Amino acid sequence: MADERDDAHREPPGTPEEVVDAVGALTAAFEVVEHARGMLYAFHRLTGRADNELAEALDQLADAGHQELADELRAELVGRNVLPGRWTFQVVEEYDEQYYRVFEAAEKRVRDELMAGRRHVYEARLKEENRTHGRPGHEARPDA
């Protein structure tokens, strides 16, 4: 069977299979970082939502005749830092700058140097090896 991958997903000529595997593993690790970053953003959003819902709950508690307790809890919890000196937006920003962007640049550098900047070469090779050539739903590319 002929290899039907497009050039954007084919290893540069002469690239050893071991290099494709290693770059694929590095990219897979970066994809885990992408997933973690998404979860961190979810943490950021959920924490903010919880803070807003807490404020509303304390308003209800005050309206139900427990103003002093609501005021104490509001002073203690609403707008509280999640880490010393930090709200979640600051945690997200530090993660992005101190870890995510560094990892992102490293992964891109490796792809640029070893795969001519091409993305998902390893996965494209797996697809080519595992699909059933000539069968509907197993085309190599959308235009094939």
Residue 2 belongs to some domain of the structure: no
Residue given tokens 């050039």 in the structure block: 7
Residue 126 belongs to some domain of the structure: yes
Residue 120 belongs to some domain of the structure: yes
The pTM for the full model equals: 0.86
CA dihedral 49, 52, 56, 59 (to 10 degrees): 150
Low-confidence ranges of the chain (pLDDT < 70): 144
Q: What is residue 144's predicted lDDT score, i.e. its pLDDT?
A: 67
Q: What is residue 1's predicted lDDT score, i.e. its pLDDT?
A: 76
Q: What is the number of structural domains in the chain?
A: 1
Q: What is residue 2's predicted lDDT score, i.e. its pLDDT?
A: 86
Residue 93 belongs to some domain of the structure: yes
Residue 105 belongs to some domain of the structure: yes
Q: Which domain holds residue 58?
A: 14-130
Residue 8 belongs to some domain of the structure: no
